[in-house]
Structure 1
Amino acid sequence: MFALAAALLFVLALIFEIAGVAVGSVVTVTTLALAGLLCVALHLMGVGAGWSLKR
Structure 2
Amino acid sequence: MLAIGAAALFVIAFLINAADISTNHVFTSTNVMLIGLALLALHVAGIGSGWAGSRRR
Same fold (TM over 0.5): yes
Alignment match, 2:29:
29
Structure 1 residues 1-55: aligned runs within 5 Å: 1-55=1-55
Aligned residues: 55
Gaps of 5+ in 2: none
Identity %: 42
Larger Rg: 2
Query: CA RMSD for the aligned pairs?
Result: 1.0
Partner deviation per Cα, 1:10-31 (whole Å, 9 max, x = no partner): 0000000111113211110100
What is the TM-score normalised by the length of structure 2?
0.87
Q: Distance in 2 between matches of 1:41 and 1:6?
A: 9
